[in-house]
Structure 1
């Protein structure tokens, strides 16, 4: 691209956007993103973007629909202002759990969101740890799918935990847990569970030896915290000496933070893809930044360089 590199942000996670811009050694693009008195979202660009290579940082976290609308309107405004290329940087992709029909007469919401982003005018998408990797195929534009595993693994290694074992909280996350296990040099255990209804899980059985070991639960997101706390208790009941948890996205819906705070988890590590509120220190929740990784990916996209090195 010959155009200038610009980074804009909606209101979903401006702190992350500013940190990304700082890593890129540029200022954050100026835009008015607010609401009219009737509740409609208002967007107005305050910088000239004609011919520029623009990246819009906006995770679609709670309130999901509002932040999604901000993203769509920012993309449309940039397209109509003659930006040369618009990349939607979506650190956390909302509606990712609705990537398939689980029963009749349901929408495939993750696909609809992909269609909306493309229709708004995005040329490509940069995201991180999609709940269902198949969502990449919902887009008819290029998707770069980053992973936070290296940053999380580096932190876990820095703790020098004795006799670690990585635990997948469900069978669907075995591949993720196995890759994490290889990064830190640990064993592997798997918890089998079922969901009788959305956001409710029941532990059925466990595969792998955790007795006397330091268990590290690895998942892509923590939502209500119920599944995580139940898995931690199951590990302690099986003889684990202590339990840690790692996840890319700290959704922390409802009263998840106090639920985790009351649990026996030693520490819960998440990234800053979603901004956090509440007393995380009291709940022993630590946040690590993925801004440098996103900044590197943005610079490589801007310069038309390969991103393969970031996926290793």
Structure 2
């Protein structure tokens, strides 16, 4: 017998299409509720049915508007807790503030820790997320969780292409995960070496460690925000003689001017996932979006049934 009642799925405003795809995979309809934004910008949540004794999964990505979606998630968790849900799991395909994981300069916050505390205080019992920018964030939580990766989905896509290419990471900080990506594809690896110049948000690509001359290139990262790092990496590998350039990443944050930059780089294909909805005005013709819905749906089923999640990834 299950330790909890039936699965209940709720979709937040951050990724309704992805939530529906997850519901289709697990063959359970999304539960209905009202999410109201008052004229004073306060949020209100009301369930249409009881979740007493149920195993509840709240699917909410921290897409734009980021802080509204975070607050909506916290209020929804509190609402579910007060209706006596047996277990509440926050399914957060893209978790905001994962780049604020340490004090790397004086007088700054550790916002990722604050977010973890808020999710726990709201009443979540577990969490699930994909490709944290900093994996040590897992240690900020006292409640258990599953830190997943979409790299298996991206790797499978590129395996079908059978490219003779070089995998390139846009900075040395991503070297370890880039090495794993290259190993799965059985391809060589190169790195872009960078150093900070000017203010905190300005960086300069210095050199390429590795050879890409006459080769196709796959530039891999976990997220693309303004696309500044990708822009530098693409220009650098082309200067070093690369042929077709592919760019792949999990989270399409795409803050302005990312779409404009990406459209001007002559990239063969941009491969990402649906952890964050991409607005129509930012959907470039060469973007391919792969869904993480099957993976998240399977993790939800395994979590509910008390089966290993690691087995999905041969761990």
Deviation at 1:33, TM superposition (A): 1.3
The 2-side partners of 1:2 and 1:56 are apart by: 16
Change in CA separation of 1:262 and 1:71 when aligned onto 2, cut-off 3 Å: same
2:280 match: secondary structure: coil
Deviation at 1:158, TM superposition (A): 1.7
The 1-side partners of 2:201 and 2:18 are apart by: 28
TM-score (normalizing by structure 2): 0.96
1:293 match: secondary structure: helix
The 1-side partners of 2:284 and 2:65 are apart by: 25
Query: How many residues matched?
Result: 311
Deviation at 1:98, TM superposition (A): 0.9
The 2-side partners of 1:300 and 1:39 are apart by: 37
1:265 match: secondary structure: coil
Q: For 1:121-156, what per-residue CA distance to the aligned partner results, in whole angstroms no more than 9, with x for missing partners?
A: 000110000000000000001120111011101111
Q: For 1:27-82, what per-residue CA distance to the aligned partner results, in whole angstroms no more than 9, with x for missing partners?
A: 00111112012110111111210000000000112221111001101100000000
Deviation at 1:281, TM superposition (A): 5.3
The 2-side partners of 1:225 and 1:47 are apart by: 43
Asked if structure 2 preserves the Cα contact closer than 8 Å seen for 1:34 and 1:42, the reply is yes
The 2-side partners of 1:17 and 1:100 are apart by: 31
Aligned counterpart, 1:177 = 178
Aligned counterpart, 1:122 = 124
- Selected match of 2:255 from 229, 240, 253: 253
The 2-side partners of 1:282 and 1:8 are apart by: 30
Deviation at 1:202, TM superposition (A): 1.1
Q: For 1:209-242, what per-residue CA distance to the aligned partner results, in whole angstroms no more than 9, with x for missing partners?
A: 1111111011000000121011011001011111
Deviation at 1:160, TM superposition (A): 2.3
The 2-side partners of 1:14 and 1:112 are apart by: 26
Asked if structure 2 preserves the Cα contact closer than 8 Å seen for 1:146 and 1:310, the reply is no
1:202 match: secondary structure: strand
**1:164 and 2:168 matched:** no
Aligned counterpart, 1:152 = 154
The worse-fitting range, judged by mean Cα deviation, of 197-206 and 185-194 is 197-206
Where does structure 2 lack aligned partners over 5 or more consecutive residues?
Answer: none
Asked if structure 2 preserves the Cα contact closer than 8 Å seen for 1:258 and 1:283, the reply is no
Q: Which runs of 4+ in 1 moved over 2 A?
A: 194-201, 278-283
**1:87 and 2:74 matched:** no
The 1-side partners of 2:19 and 2:36 are apart by: 17
Change in CA separation of 1:262 and 1:16 when aligned onto 2, cut-off 3 Å: same
Asked if structure 2 preserves the Cα contact closer than 8 Å seen for 1:43 and 1:74, the reply is yes
Change in CA separation of 1:198 and 1:62 when aligned onto 2, cut-off 3 Å: farther
Deviation at 1:307, TM superposition (A): 0.6
Asked if structure 2 preserves the Cα contact closer than 8 Å seen for 1:9 and 1:57, the reply is yes
Asked if structure 1 preserves the Cα contact closer than 8 Å seen for 2:196 and 2:202, the reply is yes
The worse-fitting range, judged by mean Cα deviation, of 196-205 and 243-252 is 196-205
Asked if structure 2 preserves the Cα contact closer than 8 Å seen for 1:262 and 1:283, the reply is no
Asked if structure 2 preserves the Cα contact closer than 8 Å seen for 1:190 and 1:207, the reply is yes
**1:243 and 2:281 matched:** no
The 2-side partners of 1:52 and 1:296 are apart by: 18
Aligned counterpart, 1:192 = 193
The 2-side partners of 1:278 and 1:304 are apart by: 39
Aligned counterpart, 2:219 = 217
The worse-fitting range, judged by mean Cα deviation, of 49-58 and 35-44 is 35-44
The 2-side partners of 1:57 and 1:199 are apart by: 31
Q: For 1:163-201, what per-residue CA distance to the aligned partner results, in whole angstroms no more than 9, with x for missing partners?
A: 211111111111111111111110000111123334432
The 2-side partners of 1:62 and 1:249 are apart by: 13
Q: For 1:88-127, what per-residue CA distance to the aligned partner results, in whole angstroms no more than 9, with x for missing partners?
A: 0010010111111221111100000000000000001100
The worse-fitting range, judged by mean Cα deviation, of 288-297 and 263-272 is 263-272
The 1-side partners of 2:289 and 2:156 are apart by: 13
Asked if structure 2 preserves the Cα contact closer than 8 Å seen for 1:245 and 1:269, the reply is yes
The 1-side partners of 2:269 and 2:282 are apart by: 10
The 2-side partners of 1:128 and 1:34 are apart by: 28
